A and B are shown apart, each in its own frame.
Chain A
Amino acid sequence: MYLNRKSSYGTVYAIESLEVVLIAAAFDQDVSLAFIDDGVFQIVNGQNTDGIGMKNFSKTFHALGDYDINKLYVSKESLDERGLNEDDIMPLVYEDEDDDWAEKPSVKVVSNAELSLIMSEQDVCLSF
C-alpha cells in the first residue's frame, strides 16, 4: 500500500510517490493507494498549474488503470473535513478484463473503519 497524506505541489512527496507506484506496476504486485488527510487533494479534478510554473502531474493518475493499478482508496472523513465529496475526485477508471473489459471506477471512497481493515491486510506500507 502507498500511503499519501500530503497534497500536491507544496512538497515533492506526491509526485515522487506516484513515480514509485508506476515502477511498482512492473513488478506484478498487488498495489493499493490510500489518500488520507490532505492526500485527497492529489486526485482532485481540475488541477491547473499554469500559474505556478510546475508540471501538472495529476494527469498521470489516469494511466494507473492501464497498469492494473485500480485500488485507490480515499478517506471519506478526510474529504468531508475538507469540504470535498466524491464528485470532486478525478474520474479514474480501469478496464476489468474479468468482466469483458467493462470500464469501472478505480477510486473507492471508504470510511476510516474500512481503511483500517484494508491497511491491516497489507504486507508492506510505504509512506511518503
Chain B
Amino acid sequence: MLHTVNKSSFERNSLQSCINIIDDNSVILLIEDGVISCTNNANSEMIAGLAEDGRVYALQGDVDARGISSKVADNIKLVDYAEFVDLVVEHGTPVSWV
C-alpha cells in the first residue's frame, strides 16, 4: 500500500501513527509539510529503517519549495508529481494520513 503523510513529524504525530500501522509491503510518500521529515533531524530515526529498505519517498517540489534539497537524508527517494501518480497506480488507492 501507499501511505501519504503531509505534516511534519514536529507538528503532528501523523508520521509516527502511519509507521505504527503500515505493513511490510507498504511505502510512504511525504508530501507538503511532510517532507520536513525527510531531512536529517531529531526525528530521523523514525523513518531511517524504512528509508534504508527503499520504502520512503518525498515529493521533490515540496522539498525544493522548503529550501531543504541539500539536506535530504540518505535513501529517501525524491519523486515528481508524475511519479506520485505512478506510485498510486502501482500501489493502489493510498491512505492519506491527514
Contact = CB atoms under 8 A, between A and B. Distances in A.
Contact of A37 (B17, B25, B26, B96): B17
Interface string A100-128: 00000000000010011101101111011
Interface in B8-44: 13-14, 17, 20-23, 25-26
Nearest to B14: A5
Main secondary structure of the interface of A (DSSP, over half): mixed
A38 B14 CA distance: 11
Q: Which of B14, B20, B23, B25 has the most CB of A within 10 A?
A: B20
A117 B23 contact: yes
A3 B94 CA distance: 12
B1 interface: yes
B21 A36 contact: yes
Given A5-B97, A127-B96, A112 B23 contact: no
Contact of A120 (B1, B17, B20, B94): B1
A119 B97 CA distance: 13
Interface of B: 1, 13-14, 17, 20-23, 25-26, 93-98
B94 A128 contact: no
A127 B21 contact: no
Given A37-B13, A127-B98, A128-B98, A119 B93 contact: no
A116 B17 CA distance: 11
Contacts of A5: 14, 17, 97-98
Contacts of B25: 120
A5 B5 CA distance: 13
A121 to B, nearest CB: 10
